[in-house]
Structure 1
């Protein structure tokens, strides 16, 4: 038996993952700088950390339009705030429009936190003044259709609002989610056939993928505006 532990980043380990992440393969990764990671030698100075949607979905425990919407909203916001440089963790403050107990907002806020590092009062305070995340994420009033978020650079005070309208994807959280949510009780109850389950999986992941690919603009789920 080898004494060498497997490299969790190796293609062998990743390829052995039985979860069908290939359905989400077209989600572009998000690169960020993390001064704390650089300080502690996790990455060389100036080199990015790469966050991928499968990692965010695994942390959430599922891939759904809400988690995908948070991922894509964050991606669009950071691209607008940092057009010519890498986004910097601990320099992005986020306001989530609504209350923590609003449907879907908890998982969405957690996804945004994973990408940006922005955290509530439970966040890391920093080390020697570097990498603090505490009190950079809050819930409040953010104008916009559907789920709205405000991202602000603490170093320049530039800010953008990104709105994600779940109804544009066929998912209305205030109306029970719509199709394919109606199939879930049959699956949970063991009443769905194998064909019905596979059709549900495909429809579900196609919807997630459509969110991850969506641009910002008219007749899309996303809008981006400077504050």
Structure 2
């Protein structure tokens, strides 16, 4: 039996549970993407997109860092290139992650890309008689490149975009003369940073994340992009 005694406060309580008190979070343009399953099952009107924000992927990851922001921005750049005049569509996007899951942050970055595109490995939903399936659309294969490389393929047109992300192109130590990040993180974990040092670390860290989220492909940025239309 349904308990109606709290029905009048449930919407407000639900809204409160969905809120996160961010100490600080970098800002980025949201990603809009259609999901055929969401449309089929009445979650959104036909043709209307879902909106994925950087806050969404940061909550899923449990933190905001260069890898998480790099994966978000890589996906955003690729989808904008592949779908210049329409919404990208889940179940129509294949993703190749350019190394093993335990190499150089590739696993966590793949999780962000799954969250946005819906593309998954064999554990993903296979769809209803194939409709809306997103299993076996994400794989880990070596991709040569100067940084962390990823390929995004639009299945319907076979257009492919390769994105390379080089985290070292952003230098957090340059912001305020702080020591190397790894040393600071070790001290942060041990609780050895003063309040002033911790606040300075947060400022440097999130400034770097923000730089990545705002970067476009180019010779002096963390990103390069190459388009391959040979199969299209």
TM-score of the superposition, structure 2-length normalised? 0.88
> Partner of 1:160: helix, strand, or coil?
strand
1:19 matched to 2:27? The reply is no
Structure 1 residues 9, 2: CA separation in 2 closer, same or farther (over 3 Å shift)? closer
Off by >2 Å, runs of 4+ in structure 1: 1-4, 6-10, 178-181
How far, CA to CA, are the matches of 1:182 and 1:205 in structure 2? 17
Gaps of 5+ in 2: 173-178
How far, CA to CA, are the matches of 1:156 and 1:69 in structure 2? 26
Structure 1 residues 9, 93: CA separation in 2 closer, same or farther (over 3 Å shift)? farther
Which protein has the larger Cα radius of gyration, Structure 1 or Structure 2?
2
1:44 aligns with 45
Q: Are the aligned partners of 1:6 and 1:13 in contact in 2 as well (CA < 8 Å)? A: no
Note the C-alpha offset of 1:13: 6.1
Note the C-alpha offset of 1:170: 2.6
Gaps of 5+ in 1: 172-177
1:59 matched to 2:64? The reply is no
1:153 aligns with 154
Note the C-alpha offset of 1:181: 2.4
For this pair of structures, how many residues does the alignment match?
Answer: 217
How far, CA to CA, are the matches of 1:187 and 1:161 in structure 2? 36
Does 190-199 or 70-79 show the bigger shift?
Answer: 190-199
Provide, for residues 24-82 of structure 1, a one-character-per-residue CA deviation record: whole Å limited to 9, x for no partner.
Answer: 1x301000000010000000000010000011011111110001000000000000000
**RMSD value, Cα:** 1.8
Structure 1 residues 8, 135: CA separation in 2 closer, same or farther (over 3 Å shift)? farther
Residue in structure 2 matching 1:5, options 5, 10, 32: 10
TM-score of the superposition, structure 1-length normalised? 0.90
Note the C-alpha offset of 1:2: 4.5
> Partner of 2:161: helix, strand, or coil?
strand
How far, CA to CA, are the matches of 2:50 and 2:62 in structure 1? 22
> Partner of 1:188: helix, strand, or coil?
helix
Provide, for residues 145-173 of structure 1, a one-character-per-residue CA deviation record: whole Å limited to 9, x for no partner.
Answer: 210000001111110100001110137xx
Note the C-alpha offset of 1:6: 3.0
Structure 1 residues 159, 9: CA separation in 2 closer, same or farther (over 3 Å shift)? farther
Q: Are the aligned partners of 1:170 and 1:179 in contact in 2 as well (CA < 8 Å)? A: no
1:202 matched to 2:203? The reply is yes
